[in-house]
Structure 1
């Protein structure tokens, strides 16, 4: 079963359970997937769906920070609940140590040596670790590996 099919089945289950919060989050995710399919005239695979989930989680985290700063705890709770639902569709994430090991292997493989190679290493890391790791952690590991 593809990730998109699983999300659709979860939407049906949320409808049956009358779980309005979960249902609205899943519908928002499916709408984002459908929008991308229509815009790019493609059928999304699991990796593309994971990248959409990642993007939506990042947006929600940014919103949580803004709402917390504004003192809107009601909106913080709503966005945090959406984050928890969306995180259920992500694959198991790599730990910081595992990311560092993967990045070190990439740096050695590419022969990267300094801060000027950051873009090349990040492109390879995004291709290899996309969906498995948060890119902010990958970026920090690349900077550390390149001595930046």
Structure 2
């Protein structure tokens, strides 16, 4: 089942079971997907929908950090609950060993030797790890190896 269909089915289930919080989060996700489709005048692929999910999770993590700094634990908890629901639709995260193996293979395949070759490595890795690893952390690991 496609990710889009799964989200729509879960919206219907949440409506039937009167899960208001979950329903609101899923509708927000569906709206974000549709908004991007309208803005770009395309139908989003599975990878594009995953990118929308990643962006939403990243935004909520940043919000949690800001709410905690501001002493608003109630709002931070709400954002954390949203993350739990959104992460259900992301692919299984890569283990540290799997990620290191992919980074090593990409460095070897691209022939990268210095920081100026980082773009080549990221270009090879991004399709493989998107949605399964934090791209910021992947970037840091690549920098450490190419330095």
Q: Which residue of 2 aligns with 1:33?
A: 33
Structure 1 spans left out of the alignment, 5+ residues:
none
Q: Which residue of 2 aligns with 1:72?
A: 72
Q: TM-score, normalised by structure 1?
A: 0.94
Structure 2 spans left out of the alignment, 5+ residues:
none
4+ long deviations beyond 3 Å: none
Q: Which residue of 2 aligns with 1:123?
A: 123
| Separation in structure 2 between the aligned mates of residue 105 and residue 97 of structure 1, nearest angstrom | 12
Q: Which residue of 1 aligns with 2:101?
A: 101
Question: Any idea what the Cα deviations from partners look like across 1:35-57, whole Å, max 9, x if unmatched?
Answer: 11111111112111111000000
| Separation in structure 2 between the aligned mates of residue 129 and residue 87 of structure 1, nearest angstrom | 15
Q: What do you get for the CA RMSD once the two structures are aligned?
A: 1.1
- Report if the CA contact (8 A) 1:96-1:137 is conserved: no
| Separation in structure 1 between the aligned mates of residue 110 and residue 104 of structure 2, nearest angstrom | 10
| Separation in structure 2 between the aligned mates of residue 28 and residue 67 of structure 1, nearest angstrom | 20
Offset at 1:16? 1.2
Q: TM-score, normalised by structure 2?
A: 0.95
